[in-house]
């Protein structure tokens, strides 16, 4: 179950960043390609409306950002100012680490709840009521996005979902830290393919070894 | 008064070591809840509008583009080209290293990755050729920071986003200071090499030079895609970033073949991880600056600065000192996001050009990367060279001084940053 959640999270953020790139690329290519007078093709391209690309890209990145932030808790990429606590004794330091992590859990829980209330009021309540036929008072349909004309609450749902997931990740990291004393850490400045290049050892021309 | 409470609160939360983004957010929530009647619900609204700008989306795209080209193979090509160009001068490998750092950092967009990539390849070669280890570590550790200034620069995008300055103008303004800094570092290194009679490489033949240029050109063309595309008006900055990501993917997979299609999801995930972290800081920094504005702190600071009669230069010196101090504790994007909304109105009040301020702040961020205690470049340089952190810092010290001199030039002579954008726009 947890492994499934991990994979879903990773798959979601990687797909969103990749797809957003392709969409913006396609929109730019489309804008210029449509200007070329190729019979048939031009009419087809002019018939396509790509004005939604920018909006969709923004919303994809909001989803990517919220779920990526939760994934980032798990990878330990959210760094803070740790110069001071690192000078403390291990036991005191551990207390501060837990305070920091619980601060993260508290903040994301509050934001998730505020976000959910907002999303609920801005259209989800209406959508739920109409879908299931509830007779709630004061039902108003929420706004739709300007280009795609989708209900905005669907996009904004990323905030409560992402924040609650992030809260869960903070608690998970805290639990692991208390149990094992280990915190996730991102390796700074990781570069692929260095070992292959180092194995080649062809940087200095043959014969140039010592000073000359 | 409220300003003092806000910053005290922020400082306390930060000192516990919790993520900077969370400290910013918690400060806002606590302050709104405890000291004001502003409904906390208004925070929810801000959470949505915080990152709904298309300009911000340039950041994930640039990170993605950089990650595609952050590869040992690309580093090697840049080193080959750089040493073919300047290797025959006194201290050739070191000079080539600085140039290679500049090129690789511009393309990869990451300072620590530049130090690791160029350093791992070049430092052993330098040692074998008889350079003192500390000299090599100092040169490479410092030059890794060049990427922040040479476009495409993520730090500049962050400045542009938080002050509404033009990304294109900032990128173009970074070109001359970037080249100047490379030349300055190379000159100092050359003088040191001359004095100590450090080794040289044989002069590269013209065909070798040409071949190494052709090899590195594919990577370097990324800079031209971005700057040329934005300047000519073919793309907006965000579109240029997306195009550069696609271009970098194409070069890495099909031209350089450093990467197979199987490696792409991993690169996407790593880029998403990094981008989401920065976007999360941005969201919370937007909340924070909303709080500052609603408490009228920027206005208060602006009138204070006029009352002080500090003047342009006095103010800029103060900015430098503040940023250098902050650079000792935080990484560039957080510093910019917290300080830019405060400093910007003051600078405008004093008639300082927004582009000049942007370049100045960027150079400050560069220096922050190589000064202890949290200079990331120092950590990675010490990691690859197995020199202690103190030794690494000492090794970098002469070049840090060069950087400080450069910072003073940038501060006092706005023309260095403003001449090219004024010519072009």
Q: B379-412 pLDDT, tens per residue?
A: 889 888 888 888 899 999 999 999 999 999 999 8
Q: Are A36 and A56 in contact (CB under 8 A)?
A: no
User: What pLDDT shows up at residue B406?
Assistant: 95
Q: How far is A136 from chain B (nearest CA, A)?
A: 23
**Cα–Cα–Cα angle for B42, B43, B48, nearest 5°?**
100
User: What SS3 state is found at A80?
Assistant: strand
Question: Cβ of B17 under 8 Å from any chain A Cβ?
Answer: yes
Task: Kindly tell me the burial class for residue A144, based on how many C-beta atoms sit within 10 Å of its own C-beta (0-12, 13-18, 19 or more).
Answer: middle
3-state secondary structure B298-329: HHHHHHHHHHHCCHHHHHHHHHHHHHHHHCCC
Q: Do A211 and B51 touch (CB under 8 A)?
A: no
Q: Are A60 and A20 in contact (CB under 8 A)?
A: yes
Question: Cβ of B410 under 8 Å from any chain A Cβ?
Answer: no
d(CA B335, CA B332): 5
User: Does the pLDDT at position B180 exceed 80?
Assistant: yes
What value of ipTM does the predicted structure carry?
Answer: 0.90
Beta bridge partners of A80: B19
d(CA A20, CA A17): 5
CA torsion B304-B310-B315-B320 (nearest 10°) is -110
Q: In chain B, which among 80-99 make CB contacts under 8 A with chain A?
A: 83
What are the tokens at B290?
A: 């909303």
**Cα–Cα–Cα angle for B347, B352, B354, nearest 5°?**
85
> For the ranges B44-48, B161-165, B404-408, which has the lowest average pLDDT?
B44-48
Q: Return the residue matching tokens 């000492």.
A: B394
d(CA A131, CA A126): 8
Q: Which residues of A touch B52 (CB under 8 A)?
A: 58, 62
d(CA A125, CA B171): 46
Size of interface A-B (CB pairs under 8 A): 255
d(CA A104, CA B22): 6
For residue range B72-93, list pLDDT tens digits in order.
Answer: 889 999 999 999 999 999 999 9
User: What pLDDT shows up at residue A87?
Assistant: 85
d(CA B425, CA B422): 6
User: Does the pLDDT at position B40 exceed 90?
Assistant: no
The one-character DSSP state at A151 is B
Cα–Cα nearest to B41, from A107, A113, A143: A113
Q: How far is A85 from chain B (nearest CA, A)?
A: 7
Q: How far is A179 from chain B (nearest CA, A)?
A: 19
Question: Cβ of B149 under 8 Å from any chain A Cβ?
Answer: no
Q: What proportion of chain B, given as a percentage, has pLDDT over 90?
A: 56
Q: Do B18 and A104 touch (CB under 8 A)?
A: yes
Q: How far is A72 from chain B (nearest CA, A)?
A: 6
Task: Kindly tell me the burial class for residue A121, based on how many C-beta atoms sit within 10 Å of its own C-beta (0-12, 13-18, 19 or more).
Answer: middle
The one-character DSSP state at A145 is -
φ and ψ at residue B372, rounded to 5 degrees: -70, 165
Q: Would you mind telling me the total number of residues written for chain B in this entry?
A: 425
Q: Do A17 and B57 touch (CB under 8 A)?
A: no
Cα–Cα nearest to B122, from B104, B145, B90, B100: B100
Name the residue of chain A whose CA is nearest to B247's CA: A25
3-state secondary structure B208-234: HHHHHHHHHHHHHHHHHHHHHHHHCCC
Q: Which residues of B touch A16 (CB under 8 A)?
A: 272
User: Does the pLDDT at position B347 exceed 50?
Assistant: yes
User: What SS3 state is found at A48?
Assistant: coil
User: What pLDDT shows up at residue A201?
Assistant: 62
d(CA B138, CA B396): 4
For residue range B120-148, list pLDDT tens digits in order.
Answer: 999 999 988 889 999 999 999 999 888 88
Cα–Cα nearest to B150, from B81, B102, B217: B102
Interhelix angle B133-143/B92-108, rounded to 10 degrees, is 30
φ and ψ at residue A114, rounded to 5 degrees: -60, -45
d(CA B410, CA B417): 7
User: What pLDDT shows up at residue B307?
Assistant: 83
- Residue B43's pLDDT band, with cuts at 50, 70 and 90, is confident
Q: Which of B14, B56, B60 to mutate to test the interface with A (most CBs of A within 10 A)?
A: B60
For A85, the closest of B17, B83, B199 (CB atoms) is: B17
Q: Do B268 and A14 touch (CB under 8 A)?
A: yes
Q: Higher confidence at residue B151 or residue B23?
A: B23
Cα–Cα nearest to B285, from B323, B239, B332: B332
User: What pLDDT shows up at residue B379?
Assistant: 87
Q: Do B57 and A58 touch (CB under 8 A)?
A: yes
Name the residue of chain A whose CA is nearest to B115's CA: A189
Q: Are A114 and B44 in contact (CB under 8 A)?
A: yes
Cα–Cα nearest to B124, from A31, A194, A64, A201: A201
Mean pLDDT of chain B: 90
Q: Taking residues B272-291, what's their average pLDDT? A: 91
Q: Which residues of A touch B389 (CB under 8 A)?
A: none
For residue range B13-33, list pLDDT tens digits in order.
Answer: 998 889 999 999 999 999 988
Q: In chain B, which among 255-294 make CB contacts under 8 A with chain A?
A: 258-259, 263-265, 268-269, 271-277, 279-280, 283
- Residue B357's pLDDT band, with cuts at 50, 70 and 90, is very high
φ and ψ at residue B36, rounded to 5 degrees: -130, 170
Cα–Cα nearest to B69, from B103, B20, B19: B103
Residues sharing a CB contact under 8 Å with residue B24, sequence separation 6 or more, in sequence order = B10, B281, B284, B285, B287, B288, B338
Task: Using 70 as the pLDDT threshold, list the residues of chain A that sit under it.
Answer: 201-212
User: What SS3 state is found at B295?
Assistant: coil
Beta bridge partners of A192: B71
Q: Which residues of A touch B112 (CB under 8 A)?
A: 188-189
End-to-end C-alpha distance for chain B, whole angstroms: 43
Beta bridge partners of A151: A144
d(CA B130, CA B381): 19
Q: In chain B, which among 197-216 make CB contacts under 8 A with chain A?
A: 197-202
The sign of the torsion formed by the CA atoms of A169, A170, A171, A176 equals: positive
User: What pLDDT shows up at residue A209?
Assistant: 47
């Amino acid at each position: 179950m947890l492994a499934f959640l991990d994979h879903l999270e990773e798959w979601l953020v990687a797909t969103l960043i990749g797809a957003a790139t392709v969409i913006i690329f396609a929109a730019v290519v489309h804008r210029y390609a449509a200007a070329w007078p190729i019979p048939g093709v031009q009419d087809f391209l002019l018939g396509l409306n790509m004005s939604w690309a920018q909006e969709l890209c923004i919303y994809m990145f909001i989803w990517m950002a919220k779920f990526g932030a939760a994934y980032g808790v798990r990878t330990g990429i959210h760094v803070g100012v740790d110069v001071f606590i690192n000078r403390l004794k291990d036991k005191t330091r551990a207390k501060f680490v837990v305070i920091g992590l619980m601060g993260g859990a508290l903040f994301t829980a509050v934001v998730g709840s505020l976000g959910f209330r907002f999303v609920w009021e801005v259209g989800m309540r209406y959508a739920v009521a109409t879908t299931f036929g509830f007779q709630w008072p004061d039902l108003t349909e929420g706004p739709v996005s300007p280009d795609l004309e989708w209900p905005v609450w669907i996009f904004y749902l990323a905030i409560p979902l992402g924040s609650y997931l992030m809260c869960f990740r903070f608690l998970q990291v805290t639990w692991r830290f208390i149990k094992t004393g280990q915190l996730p850490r991102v390796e700074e400045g990781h570069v692929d393919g260095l070992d292959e290049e180092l194995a080649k050892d062809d940087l200095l021309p043959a014969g140039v070894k010592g000073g000359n | 008064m409220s300003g003092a409470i806000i910053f005290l609160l922020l400082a306390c939360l930060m000192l516990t070591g919790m993520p900077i983004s969370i400290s910013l957010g918690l400060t806002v929530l606590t302050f709104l809840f405890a000291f004001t009647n502003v409904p906390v619900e208004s925070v929810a609204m801000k959470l949505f509008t915080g990152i709904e700008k298309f300009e911000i989306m340039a950041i994930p795209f640039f990170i993605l583009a950089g990650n595609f080209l952050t590869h040992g193979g690309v580093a090697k090509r840049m080193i080959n080209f750089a040493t073919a160009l300047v290797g025959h001068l006194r201290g050739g490998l070191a000079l080539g290293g600085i140039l290679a750092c500049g090129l690789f950092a511009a393309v990869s967009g990451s300072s620590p990755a530049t130090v690791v990539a160029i350093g791992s390849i070049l430092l052993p070669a330098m040692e074998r050729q008889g350079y003192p280890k500390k000299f090599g570590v100092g040169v490479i550790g410092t030059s890794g920071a060049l990427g922040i200034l040479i476009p495409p620069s993520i730090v500049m995008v962050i400045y542009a986003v938080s002050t509404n300055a033009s990304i294109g103008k900032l990128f173009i303004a970074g070109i001359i200071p970037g080249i100047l800094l490379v030349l300055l570092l190379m000159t100092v290194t050359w003088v040191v090499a001359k004095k100590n009679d450090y080794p040289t490489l044989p002069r590269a033949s013209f065909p070798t030079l040409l071949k190494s240029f052709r090899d590195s050109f594919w990577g370097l063309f990324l800079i031209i895609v971005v700057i040329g595309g934005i300047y000519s008006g073919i793309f907006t900055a965000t579109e240029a970033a997306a195009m550069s990501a696609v271009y970098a993917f194409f070069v890495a997979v099909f031209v350089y073949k450093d990467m197979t299609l199987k490696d792409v999801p991993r690169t996407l995930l790593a880029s998403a991880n990094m981008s989401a972290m920065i976007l999360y800081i941005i969201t919370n920094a937007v909340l924070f600056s909303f709080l500052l504005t609603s408490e009228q702190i920027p206005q208060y600071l602006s009138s204070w600065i006029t009352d002080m009669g500090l003047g342009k230069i006095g103010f800029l010196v103060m900015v430098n000192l503040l940023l250098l101090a902050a650079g000792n504790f935080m990484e560039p994007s957080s510093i910019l996001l917290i300080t830019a909304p405060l400093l910007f109105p003051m600078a405008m009040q004093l008639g300082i050009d927004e582009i000049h301020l942007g370049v100045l702040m960027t150079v400050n961020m560069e220096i922050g990367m190589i000064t202890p205690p949290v200079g990331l470049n120092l950590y990675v340089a010490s990691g690859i060279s197995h020199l202690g952190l103190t030794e690494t810092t000492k090794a970098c010290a002469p070049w840090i001084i060069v950087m400080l001199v450069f910072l003073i030039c940038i501060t006092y002579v706005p023309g260095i940053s403003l001449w090219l954008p004024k010519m072009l726009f």
